Amino acid sequence: MISLFEQDACLHGGNGSSLMHILGPILPDLEAVRGCLAETLAETNDVRVREIVDYMLESPGKRMRPALVLLSARAADGTGNASPGGNRACLNVAAAVELIHMASLVHDDLVDGAAVRHHRPSIQARWGKRVSVSVGDYLCAKAFRLIADCADPRLFMIVGSQLCAMC
């Protein structure tokens, strides 16, 4: 199966070898983050929320932010080789960072009045402004739920302060 990174390299005329050299060792962990995102966002009984979440997951982007979290975790480990795949907290933080990024895009499109995101109608263009605000907030709430599962209060300070700076 070809990864999103390999697809992007092919689409943009490059071979992606430099990017694949960097991200290759964490591709299994990025797939685990994708699964964590899908699992986390599937935790709803509201069919309207599920429809919007599925719509968002259909256009996943490159997942560079989770990749940076995973690479940083390896660097902090000191060996560069330890797989964070077995570390649920690392995967949760990577997924939470991606959820906050997704929320920021939803809110940004709302503020800018953008009708298109990733060559498709934006959330606010397709479902309206009220829904867009709620979906962005929902994504942030899900992110903090993942952070809470890590049982390290320092993570709230780090992620929360960055979210405040972004706002």
Please report the pLDDT score of residue 24 as a whole number: 87
Q: Could you tell me if residue 22 is inside a domain?
A: no
pLDDT, mean over the chain: 85
What mean pLDDT comes out for the span 58-79? 84
Domain count, the chain: 1
Identify whether 143 is part of a domain.
Answer: yes
Q: What is the CATH number of the domain that holds 148?
A: 1.10.600.10
- Predicted confidence (pLDDT) per residue in 115-157, tens digit: 999 899 999 999 999 999 999 999 999 999 999 999 889 999 9
Position 19 confidence tier, pLDDT thresholds 50, 70, 90 = confident
What's the pLDDT at 137?
A: 94
Distances (CA, A) of 145 to 50, 97, 167: 18, 12, 19
Asked if residue 20 is part of any domain, the answer here is no
Domain that residue 98 falls in: 27-166
Q: Please indicate, yes or no, if residue 92 is contained in any of the structural domains.
A: yes
CB 91 within 8 Å of CB 84? yes
Please state whether the predicted TM-score (pTM) of the whole model is above 0.85: no
Predicted local confidence at residue 18, as pLDDT: 79
